[in-house]
Amino acid sequence: MSNIEKIENFAKNLRITILDMALEAGASSSHFGGALSMVEIISTLFAYKMKHKKIISDEFNKRDRFILSKGHACLAYYAALHEIGLIPRDLLKTFEKNNSSLAGHPVKNKEIGIEFSNGSLGMGLSIGIGLAISAKKKQSNFKTYVILGDGECNEGSVWEAAMSAPKFKLNNLNVVIDRNNFQQTGSNNEIMDLGNLKNKWKNFGWEAEELDGHDIKKLVNYFDKNKNNSQPKVLIANTVKGKGFSFSENNNTWHHSVMTKNIYEKAIKEINRPNGN
Amino acid sequence: MEINEKNIKLWSSIGPRATLGLGILDLAQKDENILVVTCDVSTSAGLDRFRKTLPDQYIELGIAEQNMIGVATGLASESYDVITTTFAPFQTMRCCEQIKVNLGYMEEKLTMVGLASGLVLGNLGFTHCCIEDLGVLRSIPNIKIISPADSLETIKAVEASIKEKKSCYIRLTGGSNNPIIYNQNYNFEIGKSVTLKKGTEITIFGSGTILSECIKAAELLDKSGLSTSVINMHTIKPIDEFAIQNACKKSRLLISVEEHNIIGGLGSAISDNLSKIKNSPVLLKFGINDEYTKSGSYDYLKTYYGLNHQKILETTLKFIKKNND
Question: Residues B200, B269: one domain?
Answer: yes
Tell me how many domains chain B contains: 2
pLDDT in tens, chain B (325 residues): 899 999 999 999 999 999 999 999 999 999 999 999 999 999 999 999 999 999 999 999 999 999 999 999 999 999 999 999 999 999 999 999 999 999 999 999 999 999 999 999 999 999 999 999 999 999 999 999 999 999 999 999 999 999 999 999 999 999 999 999 999 999 999 999 999 999 999 999 999 999 999 999 999 999 999 999 999 999 999 999 999 999 999 999 999 999 999 999 999 999 999 999 999 999 999 999 999 999 999 999 999 999 999 999 999 999 999 988 6
Question: Residues B153, B280: one domain?
Answer: no
CA A42 to chain centre: 5
Q: Angle of helix A156-164 relative to helix A124-137, nearest 10 degrees?
A: 20
Measured between CA atoms, the residue of chain B closest to residue A144 is B74
Classify A62 as helix, strand or coil.
Answer: helix
Question: Residues B297, B207: one domain?
Answer: yes
Please work out, in degrees rounded to the nearest 5, the angle formed at the alpha carbon of residue A73 by the alpha carbons of A70 and A75: 150
Measured between CA atoms, the residue of chain B closest to residue A156 is B66
Nearest to A164 among B64, B72, B98 (CB): B64
Look at residue A207 and tell me whether its pLDDT is greater than 90: yes
User: How far is it, in rounded angstroms, from Cα A75 to Cα A81?
Assistant: 10
Question: Residues B15, B164: one domain?
Answer: yes
Let me know: does B108 contact B76? Beta carbons within 8 Å: yes
- Residue A222: CA count within 13 A, CB half-sphere: 24
pLDDT recorded at residue B146: 98
DSSP A123-169: -HHHHHHHHHHHHHHTT----EEEEEETGGGGSHHHHHHHHHGGGGT
Which chain A positions have a beta carbon within 8 Å of B75's beta carbon? 130-131, 133-134
Question: Residues B49, B116: one domain?
Answer: yes
Question: Residues B209, B161: one domain?
Answer: no
| Model pLDDT for residues A264-276, shown as the tens digit of each residue | 999 999 988 655 4
A60 touching B (Cβ < 8 Å):
no
Mean pLDDT score across all residues of chain A: 95
Question: Residues B33, B128: one domain?
Answer: yes
Nearest to A160 among B64, B75, B105 (CB): B64
Share of residues in chain A with pLDDT > 90 (%)? 90
In a domain, B187, yes or no: no
User: How far is it, in rounded angstroms, from Cα B287 to Cα B208?
Assistant: 12
Which residues, listed in sequence order, are joined to residue B118 by a DSSP beta bridge? B130
Question: Residues B107, B145: one domain?
Answer: yes
Torsional sign, CA B185, B186, B187, B193: negative
pLDDT recorded at residue A277: 40
User: How far is it, in rounded angstroms, from Cα B32 to Cα B197?
Assistant: 40
Task: Select the residue from A63, A157, A168, A204 to test the B interface by mutation, using most B Cβ atoms within 10 A.
Answer: A157
Look at residue A226 and tell me whether its pLDDT is greater than 80: no
Domain that holds residue A253: 3-276
- Residue B204: CA count within 13 A, CB half-sphere: 33
Q: Tell me phi and psi for residue B192, to 5 degrees.
A: -120, 110
B150 burial via Cβ count (<10 Å: 0-12, 13-18, 19+): buried
Residue A183: enclosing H or E segment and its boundaries? strand A182-183
| Model pLDDT for residues A168-179, shown as the tens digit of each residue | 999 999 999 999
Nearest CA-CA distance, residue B25 and chain A, Å: 19
| Cβ-proximal residues to A98 (8 Å cutoff; 6+ apart), any chain | none
* Alpha-helical runs (H) found in chain B: 5-30, 48-53, 65-77, 88-92, 96-98, 133-138, 151-163, 211-223, 241-250, 266-274, 298-304, 309-324
Which chain A positions have a beta carbon within 8 Å of B62's beta carbon? 163-164
A130 burial via Cβ count (<10 Å: 0-12, 13-18, 19+): buried
User: How far is it, in rounded angstroms, from Cα B272 to Cα B274?
Assistant: 6
Question: Residues B28, B125: one domain?
Answer: yes
Classify A111 as helix, strand or coil.
Answer: helix
A122 touching B (Cβ < 8 Å):
yes
CATH number at residue B257: 3.40.50.920
Let me know: does A18 contact A36? Beta carbons within 8 Å: yes
Which residues, listed in sequence order, are joined to residue B145 by a DSSP beta bridge? B169, B237
Rg of chain B, C-alpha, whole Å: 19
Question: Residues B30, B144: one domain?
Answer: yes
Question: What letter does residue A230 receive in the DSSP assignment?
Answer: S
In a domain, B188, yes or no: no
| Region for B277 from its dihedrals, namely left if φ exceeds 0, alpha if ψ lies in -120 to 50, beta otherwise | beta
In a domain, B310, yes or no: yes
- If we measure between CA atoms, which residue out of A102, A100, A87, A99 comes closest to residue A13? A87
Q: Give chain B's end-to-end CA distance (angstroms, integer).
A: 54
Interface ipTM: 0.96
- If we measure between CA atoms, which residue out of A231, A221, A182, A208 comes closest to residue A70? A182
Question: Residues B133, B233: one domain?
Answer: no
User: How far is it, in rounded angstroms, from Cα A135 to Cα A130?
Assistant: 9
CATH number at residue B29: 3.40.50.970
Domain that holds residue B97: 5-171
Which chain A positions have a beta carbon within 8 Å of B69's beta carbon? 126
User: How far is it, in rounded angstroms, from Cα A9 to Cα B144?
Assistant: 48
For B85-120, the three-class secondary structure string (H helix, E strand, C coil) is EEEHHHHHCCCHHHHHHHHHHCCCCCEEEEECCECC
In a domain, B243, yes or no: yes
Tell me how many domains chain A contains: 1
In a domain, B189, yes or no: no
In a domain, B256, yes or no: yes
Task: Select the residue from A115, A152, A160 to test the B interface by mutation, using most B Cβ atoms within 10 A.
Answer: A160
Greater confidence (A57 vs A88) lies with A88
Please work out, in degrees rounded to the nearest 5, the angle formed at the alpha carbon of residue B109 by the alpha carbons of B81 and B100: 145
Let me know: does A104 contact A117? Beta carbons within 8 Å: no
Look at residue A228 and tell me whether its pLDDT is greater than 80: no
In a domain, B185, yes or no: no
Which chain B positions have a beta carbon within 8 Å of A62's beta carbon? none
- Which positions 57-76 of B are in contact with A (Cβ < 8 Å)? 59, 61-62, 64, 66-67, 69-76
Q: Where is the domain boundary, B111, B137, B171?
A: B171
In a domain, B261, yes or no: yes
Torsion angle in degrees (nearest 10) through CA of B268, B269, B271, B277: 170
Measured between CA atoms, the residue of chain B closest to residue A164 is B61
Classify A74 as helix, strand or coil.
Answer: helix
- Which positions 140-179 of A are in contact with B (Cβ < 8 Å)? 156-157, 160-161, 163-164
Q: Where is the domain boundary, B139, B171, B203?
A: B171
CATH number at residue A223: 3.40.50.970
User: How far is it, in rounded angstroms, from Cα A173 to Cα A94?
Assistant: 33
Q: Tell me phi and psi for residue A268, to 5 degrees.
A: -60, -40
Question: Residues B129, B246: one domain?
Answer: no
A272 burial via Cβ count (<10 Å: 0-12, 13-18, 19+): exposed
A21 burial via Cβ count (<10 Å: 0-12, 13-18, 19+): buried
3-state DSSP helix/strand/coil % of chain A, to nearest 5: 50, 15, 40
